[in-house]
Structure formats: C-alpha cells, structure tokens
Amino acid sequence: MSQNTDSTNSVTRRDFLKVTGTFAAATAFAGGVPNVHAASSETIQIALIGCGGRGGGAAANALSVPKGNTKLVAMADVFEHRLAGAYNTLTQKYPDRVDVPKGRQFIGFDAYKKAMDCLKPGDVAIFTTPLAFRWVHFTYAIEKGINVFMEKPLTADGPSSRKMLALAEEAKKKNLKVGVGLMSRHADHMEEAHKRIQDGAIGDIILMRGYRMAGPLATAFSEKWPGQPSELLWQISRFHSFIWASGGCFSDFYIHHIDHCSWMKNSWPVKAQALGGRHYKTNPQGQLYVDQNFDSYSVEYTFADGAKFIMDGRCVAGCNDIYSSYAHGTKGMAVLAHNGDCAPPSQIFKTQGVSKKGLLWESKEIPGVTDPVGYQKEWNVLIDCIRNDKPHNEVERGVMASVTTSMGRMAAHTGQEVTFDEAMNGTAVYAPDVENWNLNSAPPVKSDAEGRYPKPEPGIITKTEYKLDPMPA
C-alpha cells in the first residue's frame, strides 16, 4: 500500500480499461448475439440465482414491473431451505408469475448454470449470491446471451475487478443489458438533488459526509463455526463476516453512500486513509467473535481536486445511531440521504447547517411512487431497455463503486494510505479457484485452533488486508 501522501493522480476510464486488456482477450467469446432483446409482447423469463433476502426482493421487483410481462421460471442456491423459503414467499405474492416446478429448482455450486440453461437469449438472470461468484456467473450469462441484474458490491479485490471490467465490455459487444443494485441513482429525489447540485445550487463541493452507525447488523459478527454445515457453506451463510464473500461489513453496508456521494461529485476519489478497530472481541454472552470485520470505521477519501469525503461506519449497540449523507459546497449544503441508504427527502440549504430558515429546496413525494428509494425503478428501467433495445450496462460504475469502497476498507485494515490505482491493480486474490468450487471444497480462509479467522492487523500486515495463505508475490 502506498505511503505517498501527495499522490492525487486521477484514474480515468481509459486508465483502468488498459489494465483489463489481457482479461478481455482471455474472456472474449466466439460469435455474437446482436440485438438480444424481447419484443413488447414476449414474456421475459427470470432465473433467480441466490435466494436469500436480497434475492427474493430483487425477484419481487422483477415481477412487479408495470406491464413487464415477466415470469420467474428457475431458481438456484446452495441451500435448499433458502430456495424453498423464497419460492413459497414469491408464489404466495405472485401466483400467476411464478412457474418454478421442482425440475427447475437447483441446488449446488453448478446450480447457476442449470438455472440459466432454462432461459433463452434475451431473458434475465438475477445474481444475488456472495460477490466472489459474480464474475463466474456473469461469464456464463454472456456466453448464453442472457441479460443480467446483479447485486452490489461486485468485487472485493483487484483481480476480480479487472475481470468484471473486461466482462462488461464483452456484454456490450453482445448488446446485453445489465443492471447493478446501486439504486440511489434511480431514486427520483436523488436524481433531482444531483441535477440541482450540478447546476450550482451549493457551489463547488468541498466536503461530503456519510454515516451508517447502528448496532450489529446481519451476519457481520460471527461466533465459532459449529461444525455443520461444511465450513465453506457456513462462511457463505455468514457472508458479511468474510472479506472474500462480501468485502465485509464495510463494503456491503457502506457502498450506497460511497456511490451516491461520488455521483454528486461526478468523480471517484483517488486515495483514502482511514481508522478502524475492534472494540468488542466477544458477544454479550461472552462467546468469541471470529469474523474478519472491525466494528468501527472512519475513512477520509480525497478527490483529485482536494475535496474530501468522510465515511463513518459503526456496528456497536447502545451508541448514537446516524444513517444519512450530506454534501457541503462553497454556497451551501445538501442533505442527500435523509435516512437509510438513500431515503427521502433530499434538501438544499443556503447555509452549512440544517435549518428551516436556510432551506432552499426539499424533494416532494411523487404521487403513485410506492418505492421512493429506487429498488423498483431500477428494474423498470432495465426491463424498458430490454423491451426497447436501449443501451444499458451499469457494470463499469458498479466496479468503480466497489473498488472505491475497497480502497477505504483496505486503508483501514492496513493502516496505510491506499490509492485507487493500488486497489484496482492489486494482486491479492481473496477467493482463489472459485470457479471450480463444489460442496466438498475447502473454504478460502481457514480458522485457527480457537476458531478465529485471519484478521486485519494495521501497521503489522500492510501489503494485504490479512495474512493470506500463501501470501501473493
């Protein structure tokens, strides 16, 4: 990791596509599928790959597109109970739009292929598995000529980021439409705030702030593996606890604020320095936590023009909870996300603080919009682009947001300043040989005698986020 505090060179799209050239050559697919899109009256079939909570939510959005004529026809997961739970919920809610008999319900690490084999070119596959599998599943979708919706984050290390950029170019060549679950950019109030900020409503942005501070969340903090299921399957089930599976809590929980604040700036930060640590080594019952996460993070991102963005995250019960984001400019400030990842209202003030007297603009509720944070709209846009053959590929932005997030996480975990270039071009592979995993595969990180997994040690382990076995060259 770089220790040069003067490094502020911007990494442009041209810059980072250069490093993907060898991957583009390696993943180029024979032949093409021009104009892969569905006619207006044709049913678009959906395959759900990854049937956890976010997968079920994405499938529900896919089936709720107004006049979308969509149907769920296949499902895949490594856990039968998760597939069954999602199937039962979706069948009850959409009885006429779920047609997934037992013969199209697939379990295992190769289940993604079987589910996509049920589709025709122009249909849609949903990828809501842990991110380590993203490039593997995307490769097969491109081979099959299938459009994709994939959940964030997309990557946690440099090699998979470069692979995803190369695959994005291949998807464009095949005219495939690809949505990425960074829904802030599809939320109406956020779009309006962005437009006003670009029009100069708060002047030049000099500082942004993002906060997601709450109690312990989801599967971010884990006790010792209980022995069942297999250790690999257990890590998948506790994916927020492992950097290889999710980028850890920093990447999975904080990427929305990092993405939409960078959007307001119309650029990506070029470097990051950070603080972070673990305050509690055990749960309230005294059981040892064994996961790879810190429970507190504070990252200072720097843009090429010197503007700063502070992203604070905390997963500690009993503390002051804040879940919002802000932009400060030379003429005023904006509330971006009032609450949550991107919940309204957005506001603009002529002052540097929130006050009724300084309020210049506040977003209004739009009649008929029941999902103001953009989960449904991102699907409406994707299906419209498929139906009407409009260009739509959000992978590049998804990778940029993922690398920017990883850059901050790496800075906290190593105690070093990390540049965007270093995060993008890193050599550490967190999920080696993932394309060949099966139910009997060993996990990519192994526990010690007490059940603890390799953890970040800032200032001690500085070239990678934790001790890898074997260490990269």
Q: CATH number for the domain including 98?
A: 3.40.50.720
Residue 87 lies in a domain: yes
Residue 363 sits in a domain whose CATH number is 3.30.360.10
Q: Are residues 151 and 241 in the same domain?
A: no
Task: Return d(Cα 411, Cα 431) in angstroms, integer.
Answer: 20
Q: Are residues 408 and 472 in the same domain?
A: yes
Question: Residue 467 class from Cβ within 10 Å (0-12 exposed, 13-18 middle, 19+ buried)?
Answer: middle
Q: Are residues 387 and 403 in the same domain?
A: no
Residue 2 lies in a domain: no
Kindly give the residue spans of alpha helices, DSSP state H, lying in 123-230: 134-144, 158-173, 188-198
Q: Are residues 179 and 189 in the same domain?
A: no
Kindly give the residue spans of alpha helices, DSSP state H, lying in 94-133: 111-116
Task: Place 41 in a pLDDT band, splitting at 50, 70 and 90.
Answer: low
Task: Return d(Cα 110, Cα 96) in angstroms, integer.
Answer: 28
Percentage of the chain exceeding pLDDT 90: 88
Percentage of the chain exceeding pLDDT 70: 90
Residue 8 lies in a domain: no
Q: Are residues 205 and 331 in the same domain?
A: yes
Residue 3 lies in a domain: no
Residue 7 lies in a domain: no
The residue length of the chain stands at 473
Task: Place 469 in a pLDDT band, splitting at 50, 70 and 90.
Answer: confident
Q: Are residues 126 and 67 in the same domain?
A: yes
The encoded tokens of residue 230 equal: 């297999």
More confidently predicted of 161 and 2 = 161
What distance, in Å, lies between the first and last C-alpha atoms of the chain? 14
Residue 371 and residue 377 in contact, taking contact as beta carbons nearer than 8 Å:
yes
Task: Find the mean pLDDT for residues 3-14.
Answer: 40
Residue 18 confidence (pLDDT) above 90: no
Residue 5 lies in a domain: no
Q: Are residues 192 and 160 in the same domain?
A: no
Q: Are residues 125 and 196 in the same domain?
A: no
The encoded tokens of residue 261 equal: 């604040």
Q: Are residues 171 and 277 in the same domain?
A: no
What's residue 368's pLDDT?
A: 79
Query: pTM higher than 0.95 for the full model?
Result: no
Q: Are residues 265 and 312 in the same domain?
A: yes
Task: Return d(Cα 285, Cα 426) in angstroms, integer.
Answer: 39
Instruction: Return the number of other C-beta atoms located less than 10 Å from residue 23's C-beta.
Output: 19
Q: pLDDT tens digit string along 97-146? A: 999 999 999 999 999 999 999 999 999 999 999 999 999 999 999 999 99
Q: pLDDT tens digit string along 267-292? A: 999 999 999 999 999 998 999 999 99
Residue 306 lies in a domain: yes
The domain in which residue 265 lies consists of 184-368+394-473
Nearest to 435 by CA among 142, 162, 135, 21: 135
Q: Are residues 193 and 271 in the same domain?
A: yes
Name the domain count of the chain: 2
Residue 70 lies in a domain: yes
Residue 6 confidence (pLDDT) above 90: no
Q: Are residues 345 and 410 in the same domain?
A: yes
Q: pLDDT tens digit string along 376-429? A: 999 999 999 999 999 999 999 999 999 999 999 999 999 999 999 999 999 999
Of the three residues 393, 427, 445, the one that is the final residue of a domain is 393
